[in-house]
Chain A
Amino acid sequence: MLIELLTKRYPGMRAWLMQRLTALLLAIYSVMALVRFLLLQPNGYEAWVDFFQPCWWRFASWLFWVSLSIHAWLGVRDVFKDYVPNAHVRSVLLKLLVVMLWLYWAWATWLLLV
């Protein structure tokens, strides 16, 4: 159902829906991270390594990063669209943003899943 709604037939709704879905995932992860932090209270490098040790948590963190990237892309794209009227400058900024988000994504993948 959701995948079908995110098709090219609904370009406006697709972005709107994606922003809300990713926001929901970000909110869920943030609450989980806070609870885990309060329970485990990591202190020092080793404790933080342990904090990110469980496989499920690393996957959740990776999912968080993917959601954050999509959410940031949609939000910053809108900001550029509104506040950067020059099409060439906007195009360069959007490309830089894409490169930056992909690099962050690759870095997060390497840190969390590899």
Chain B
Amino acid sequence: MKFSIYRFNPDVDKKPYMQNYDVELQEGDQMLLDALLRIKDLDDSLSLRKSCREGVCGSDSMNINGKNGLACITKLTDLKEPVVLRPMPGLPVIRDLVVDMTQFFENYNSVKPYLVNNDPPPETERLQSPADRAKLDGLYECILCGACTTSCPSFWWNPDKFVGPAGLMQAYRFMVDSRDQALDARLEDLEAPDRLYSCHNIMNCVEVCPKKLNPNAAIAKIKDLKFEQARAHKNNAKKQIAIKVV
């Protein structure tokens, strides 16, 4: 099977280049990662990340024939030859298919992706009703592979400002968590014009998500919540004015 793979070693190469490989697949090689490991047997200078090999860790996300995805769950039979592999776009390349995901995780951390609850911890655990728990479905499954964020043009142009689809979906995941108490602060945090509203519904994130999640829908729901928050602020302001008048 024929491959064309992006190669760049900053210690040696002045600029990146594409290297062709023709690899003999063995019985049982079904996924792209299997083929990549065969290539690595031939040329151990090729760098890539991998870990779980079953689409759970999100390490081996890369650009596969122009579309971001996970090598370990991409079937070889679905790929057109030569298979063109590049690192995920929009992030600095460390080497070959390995990118520096610092910006991605900085954006993710900026939305405080953890429960904020100031009540004293209960003896056992903070319980949720099945209905409240169901609100997290389609959100908590994100594996932070970065496929969505790095295929988003808004992130390419403003990576330090726009949180990106993965970070925003996690922001929404905690906004709708019945155990969280920081909804207002979370919404306020996303008011800066570029942090949330740089999403122009391009939908690349939905197209590429290997877990079939819908970050765009989560972003739309955050915008709805922000509208509700603004209305609530307005009503509270009116109440406060009324109290002062009385």
How far does the alpha carbon of A71 sit from the alpha carbon of B80 in the complex, in Å? 41
What residues of chain A lie closer than 8 Å to B38, measured between beta carbons? none
Type the 1/0 row for B205-246, where 1 means its CB is closer than 8 Å to any CB of A. Answer: 000000000000000000100110011011000000000000
Contacts A81-B157, A82-B157, A82-B158 given; indicate if A12 touches B193 (C-beta within 8 A).
yes
Does A110 touch B at the CB level, under 8 Å? Answer: no
Does B196 touch A at the CB level, under 8 Å? Answer: yes
Listed by A's residue number, 24 A-B pairs whose Cβ atoms lie within 8 Å are: A1-B231, A1-B234, A5-B227, A5-B234, A9-B233, A10-B226, A10-B230, A11-B191, A11-B193, A12-B191, A12-B197, A12-B226, A13-B191, A13-B226, A13-B227, A15-B193, A16-B223, A17-B227, A78-B198, A78-B200, A81-B157, A82-B158, A83-B157, A85-B157
Residue from the list B154, B195, B234 in contact with A12, Cβ < 8 A: B195
* Size band of the interface chain B makes with A: 20 to 34
What residues of chain B lie closer than 8 Å to A4, measured between beta carbons? 234
Could you tell me the dominant secondary structure of chain A's interface residues? helix
What residues of chain B lie closer than 8 Å to A15, measured between beta carbons? 193, 197
What residues of chain B lie closer than 8 Å to A9, measured between beta carbons? 230, 233
What residues of chain B lie closer than 8 Å to A1, measured between beta carbons? 231, 234
Report whether A12 and B190 are in contact in the complex, using a CB–CB cutoff of 8 Å: yes
